[in-house]
Each structure stands twice: as structure tokens, then as C-alpha cells.
Chain A
Amino acid sequence: MSSIMKIENLQAKIGDKQILKGLDLELEPGKVHAIMGPNGAGKSTLSKALVGHYDVELTGGDIIYKGKNINEMEAEERALEGIFLSFQHPVEIPGVNNAYFLRTALNAKRKHEGKEELNAAEFLRLMRDHLEMLGMKSDMISRSLNEGFSGGEKKRNEILQMLILEPEVIILDEIDSGLDIDALRAVSEGINKMKDGKRSFLVITHYSRILDYIEPDYIHVLKDGRIIKTAGPELVSQLEEHGYDAIEEE
């Protein structure tokens, strides 16, 4: 099957430090790809590189999304084209209303797709439905974006945005960090709801716990800036048992 995103020989640095050193990865439509790896392997740099984060400087290679090279594409354009990153640490933005922010983002996307924008009432209906599904309180509508949110609320809010924006490539950076079991279940439910056989997921994680809830199709081991092994879900138990050091490059 042709890939929705193809990453070829990607090299990237943050500041003076070369982090990605020739990373190859193909994301298939409708599949869940899990990236696992030790601390400092480059997992978060990869997610930042894919969404055009200002910290990351690409020094080589290509990111091909739906057949188009997006190396130079601005972050907002990547988002409009359907790439979504659920941040490991979502920022708090006091004074920006959560609902207003999300409606602005959704309408920007709808406009980009040539669809009619949603008015406030239509949007609120949509938001309320999703809030209920994620077990979020309705005061999330009027609160400032992520301000004073607990770790779990922030992650649920990321998933809420994902559900409403309906992206095509979903990158989940340490989505399980700081979540209790209930929150993890709700977040996973939201993610699983997005599986439609077309969307592609890139789940970046340290631990296998999240993979009990979101069943992966592929496991990729990222070490020292490169994917050193790709296998099926059975690789998870091997990693649990022997650790990353035991994995040899293919």
C-alpha cells in the first residue's frame, strides 16, 4: 500500500546538536505506527520535525506528505493539510478562550478545504458532544486554553482538538505521560474513535502501557537518531523483557 507520509534519510539538529541522523520511515494509511526508544534517541525531535517546529533545523533528507515534499512548509500549512501533533507538554495560554481557539482553528481548516465555516452555535454543539465522550467538564468551553488544567485535562484537551480537527496524520508525543488509568482509558477511547482505516497514527512512547489501549500495527525502534528495527506488535514484549540495548540494527 502506498504511504501517506514518507520520511527519507531525515537529518535534523536542534541548536548545534545533530539529533536525527538519517531516519527512514513510512506511514501507511489506516495503520498505527509506534515509535519506541530510549531517552535522547530523537523521538520528540522527530515529532517536532514533522510539524515544522522552530527549534528543529532540517539538515538533510525529505519529508514527503501525500506525494509532496513539505520540508519548507510552514507549521500552520502542515496543520491545514492534515498533520496534527498532540504535544507532550501543551502550553498554557491565559486569555485565549478554549472554544474560541478551537473554532478559529476548525474554521481555518474548513476554509482551507473550501467548506463553509461553522457559526458559534453549530460549533458549541459539536464541542459539547466530544466533551461528553471524553468525560470532560463543560466549563472547558469557557476556560482559557490549558490554563490551570491538570496534566490529564491537558491531554484530554489535545484529544478533543484532534477529534474536532479530524487530521489525517496524527502524531501522539508521549500521550500517556502523567495520565491515571481513567484518563488513559478516556484518551485512548478518543484515539481509537479516530481510526477509520484511512488515518495514520504515529504513537511516540517510552513505555508499552499505552499500546495496551491503542493496538499498534508496527513497532519502530528509534535509537541514536535512526530507526534501527521495524517489526509487528510482538516486538513490544521483547523490548519489555530485554530492553533497547538488546535490539540490534537490521
Chain B
Amino acid sequence: MNLLALKHKTLQELKTDLGIKNRDALLERFCTLGLPSKKSEAYRYFDIEKLLDYSYKTLNYIPKNPEVSEIIEIVDGVVVAAPKGMRIYNEACEQIDMDHFDPLYYLTHLLSPQTIKIELDGDTEVEIEHRFTQSGTLIDYRIVLYTQSNRHATVYENFISEEIENTLVLYGYDMHIAQDSTLRVVKMHSMQDDGYAMVASHKVNVAKNAHAMFKSFDVGKDLALQLLKVELDEYAHVDAGHLLYLNEDSKRGTVSQIVHVGEHSTSKQEAKNILDGKSRGIFDALIRVEHSAKYTKAEQNSKAILLHDDAYMVAKPQLEIYIDELEASHGATTGQLDRKQLFYLQSRGISYTEARKMLVIAFANTLIEQVKDTRQQERIKASFEEAFYKGNM
């Protein structure tokens, strides 16, 4: 399948090409937004057309009976293992956002009518490992996550590939965080010539008085973009943090919309970006405060350190506000490592590379240390260091 061939197709043609029945509303929305291109706002800084213009193999997603495991293992879009008693189903998604900004959100829903539905029971902590094993393949799947009211759940996500090349992964979550509950998602995504590119398109609904924490740690190289839309009900809160450490000619980042719908909703979004080589970091983030969202508090910040003259940061923090009764702030800075600090470390016998690493980790630490689980924190630090040394060999 060459996804670029879907460009400019009519609804009827798309129905035929994708073999879809009865999903006209989704198709209409996809047609309205159009296949992403350089001209699309969300993909302006990402080479999406290059990724779409390839004849990918497609997969038949046949659900399996998952083996019992400590973690949820998803191999090429199919759940193959899960903890005992974990409620996982293959079902059509019941609640699709009809106002998402990302066309690939709709395309992945169209391509994956059966989603992986995970109901997080009680206070739980679960690890999801995504594994990709097929070369030259379009791997597309969606996950729907539900939490229970008054419960607190944590999801750790990581990604592994097995000697593949030219694969495109399109996936994403629809998360429904129930009233008075908390969901923490910690995504660790390390890529080093991993043979695949990824576009992840998420939607997070945060119900009344619920809290969402979404921390993403993207390190290494290659091409990957996460597109995130969060909707906040009354007294709902989201704490989003994005750490990016890139090297060589990678292009990765976050495009997001946080929409305050309910009164007294609060959001905090912080991006820290460290860019080496010829890499490009993307932080294109909008906070929208609707008429209904009086007494909102919103805070958004992006900081970038460029380690190389050819590195480039696209930082676009934006506010779109329709009320007066709120507190909101946003800002972005881009700089380099502090030469005085670097020299101080070197003057104690620490090598230039090690001193740079220490300063880079120090910059990133405020985000890494927000991950309370020490094992996960160590894992993030190890991936970070591994990517750093590979970029500084």
C-alpha cells in the first residue's frame, strides 16, 4: 500500500481503496483534513510525504490468545502477552473524537476498525512493550485505554525493533481518564537506526476532577512524531512533559493541542530539547481555552539546547484564548551549553565528552526525576546515556 496514493481521493474512492463500509463520518473528516503534506500545519516541519510515498506491505491483524506475562507485549500490532487477569479486548472504538486536528488520527481509525481495548482495573501499574518485526511494512493499530473512577493507574511504554528496515508505524491511543482518577503515562522511545519511522496520534479525554500525566522521553535518531490532543473537563488537570535528545539527521518531536473545556481546569506542559548533529526538534504546541473554561490555569514552556551549529529547533508554543478569567503563560528559549560550566567540570579532569554529558543530563534531569519509579528512571537515564555516547563517538 502506498499511502500517498490516497491523496485527493473522493470519499467513495477511499471507501473502495480501503475496503471500508459504514464509516462515512470518519471518512468525511479525513477527506476534509486531507492526507498530511508539507503544507499541513501539524506536519510542516516533518518529512511526512517521504514516509507516505512508499509501497508498504500490509498485515492481517489476527487477534491471539495472549500468553501470561508480566507486561503487555504488542508485536506488530497484535497483543501476544499480557499480565494474568488484565482486561484486554479487540473491539471497535466507541468514542472517536470528531474534532481532532490530525488527519492520521482518522486514517489509523479507518485502517484499524478493531482496536486494542485495555481496561485498567483499580490502582494498577502496567508496562506496554511495542515490538516491530516486519520490514517494508505498514504497521497500524490503535489502543483504547480506560481507567476507573477514583483509581490511579500508571502505564510505562517502550519500543523495540528486530533488525527491520523501511517500516512505517502508525499507532495511537484514545485514553479515557475517568472522573476523580489519575493516569500516568511514561513513554520511553529510543531509536538508533531502528529501521522504522513512527507517527503516533493520540487523544486523551480527562474527565471531571481527573489527572493525566503524560511524559515522553524520545532519544536517539530516525523519524518520529507524536501528535497529542488533550481535552480537559471541569477541575481536570494535565501535566505533560517532553524530553527530546536527538543526534545525526533525525527529525522528531511533539505536535499538541491541549483544550480546556471545563471550568477550573489546569494544564502544565514542559518541553526540554537537546539537539546534536543535524537533527531537528519539533515542539509545536497549542493551548486552547474555550468559552466554557473559566478560571483555567495554563502554563507552557519549551527550552532547547543546541549542541551543534547545524541542529535546529522548531519551538512554537501558542495560546488561543476565548475568555478573560484565566491565568496563562507560555515561552520558549533556545541556547547552548554554558561554557563556564563546561570549563569548570573540565578543570577538575573531567573529559569534554563526559562534561557535556553531565550538563546535558542535568538539563534533562528535572523531567527524568519526575518519573517516581526508580527502575524506570534508571532505564530512561541508561537510554539517554547510550544515545549520547552513540552521538559522540
Using a CB–CB cutoff of 8 Å, the interface residues on chain A facing chain B are 51, 53-54, 74-76, 78-80, 85, 87, 90-91, 93-96, 101-102, 104-105, 108-109, 112, 144, 161, 165
B392 CB–A CB distance under 8 Å = no
Does B347 lie within 8 Å of A93, measured CB to CB?
no
User: A-facing mask of B158-188, CB < 8 A → 1, else 0?
Assistant: 0000000000000000000000000000000
A/B interface sample: 20 pairs, CB < 8 A: A51-B347, A53-B343, A54-B339, A76-B350, A76-B352, A76-B355, A85-B347, A87-B347, A91-B340, A93-B359, A95-B366, A96-B345, A96-B358, A96-B362, A104-B350, A104-B358, A105-B345, A108-B351, A161-B348, A165-B349
B322 CB–A CB distance under 8 Å = no
Q: Which of B340, B352, B359 contacts A96 (CB 8 A)?
A: B359
Contacts of B363 in A (CB 8 A): 95
Does A91 lie within 8 Å of B347, measured CB to CB?
no
> Which among B343, B349, B358, B365 has the greatest number of chain A C-beta atoms within 10 A?
B349
- Give the Cβ gap from A73 to chain B, nearest Cβ, in Å: 12
Does B362 lie within 8 Å of A94, measured CB to CB?
yes
User: A-facing mask of B313-339, CB < 8 A → 1, else 0?
Assistant: 000000000000000000000000011
Does B352 lie within 8 Å of A87, measured CB to CB?
no
Q: Which of B349, B359, B365, B366 contacts A80 (CB 8 A)?
A: B349
Q: Which of A54, A102, A105, A165 contacts B343 (CB 8 A)?
A: A54
Does B341 lie within 8 Å of A95, measured CB to CB?
no
Report how far A75 CA is from B340 CA in the complex, Å: 12
- Give the Cβ gap from B44 to chain A, nearest Cβ, in Å: 32
B377 CB–A CB distance under 8 Å = no
With A96-B362, A104-B358 known to touch, is A91 a contact of B348 (CB < 8 Å)? no
Report how far A79 CA is from B349 CA in the complex, Å: 5
Contacts of B193 in A (CB 8 A): none
Does B346 lie within 8 Å of A91, measured CB to CB?
no
B361 CB–A CB distance under 8 Å = yes
- Give the Cβ gap from A249 to chain B, nearest Cβ, in Å: 32
Report how far A96 CA is from B361 CA in the complex, Å: 8
B61 CB–A CB distance under 8 Å = no
With A108-B350, A165-B348 known to touch, is A75 a contact of B343 (CB < 8 Å)? yes
Contacts of B361 in A (CB 8 A): 95-96
Does B362 lie within 8 Å of A93, measured CB to CB?
yes
Beyond known contacts A94-B362, A95-B363: 18 more, CB 8 A cutoff: A74-B346, A76-B347, A76-B348, A78-B347, A79-B346, A91-B338, A91-B340, A93-B345, A93-B362, A95-B365, A96-B345, A96-B358, A101-B345, A105-B345, A105-B348, A105-B350, A108-B351, A112-B349
Report how far A112 CA is from B347 CA in the complex, Å: 15
Contacts of B129 in A (CB 8 A): none
B354 CB–A CB distance under 8 Å = yes
Contacts of B341 in A (CB 8 A): 91, 93
Interface residues on B, range: 20 to 34
Q: Which residue from chain A places its CB closest to the CB of B362 in the assembled complex?
A: A95
- Give the Cβ gap from B349 to chain A, nearest Cβ, in Å: 4
Contacts of B347 in A (CB 8 A): 51, 53, 75-76, 78-79, 85, 87
> Which among A94, A112, A161 has the greatest number of chain B C-beta atoms within 10 A?
A94
> Which among B341, B352, B363 has the greatest number of chain A C-beta atoms within 10 A?
B341
B344 CB–A CB distance under 8 Å = yes
> Which among B338, B346, B359 has the greatest number of chain A C-beta atoms within 10 A?
B346
Contacts of B362 in A (CB 8 A): 93-96, 144
- Give the Cβ gap from A142 to chain B, nearest Cβ, in Å: 12
Report how far A112 CA is from B349 CA in the complex, Å: 9
With A95-B361, A96-B362 known to touch, is A79 a contact of B344 (CB < 8 Å)? no
- Give the Cβ gap from A210 to chain B, nearest Cβ, in Å: 21
Report how far A85 CA is from B347 CA in the complex, Å: 8
**Cβ < 8 Å to A, chain B residues 20-77:** none
Contacts of A165 in B (CB 8 A): 348-349
Q: Which residue from chain A places its CB closest to the CB of B351 in the assembled complex?
A: A76
Report how far A14 CA is from B365 CA in the complex, Å: 35
- Give the Cβ gap from A45 to chain B, nearest Cβ, in Å: 15
Contacts of B350 in A (CB 8 A): 76, 101, 104-105, 108
Report how far A101 CA is from B366 CA in the complex, Å: 17
Report how far A91 CA is from B338 CA in the complex, Å: 10
Does A87 lie within 8 Å of B344, measured CB to CB?
yes
Report how far A133 CA is from B263 CA in the complex, Å: 57
Q: Which of A53, A74, A79, A95 contacts B348 (CB 8 A)?
A: A79
- Give the Cβ gap from B43 to chain A, nearest Cβ, in Å: 33
Q: Which residue from chain B places its CB closest to the CB of A94 in the assembled complex?
A: B362
Does A109 lie within 8 Å of B349, measured CB to CB?
yes
Q: Which of B340, B354, B365 contacts A104 (CB 8 A)?
A: B354
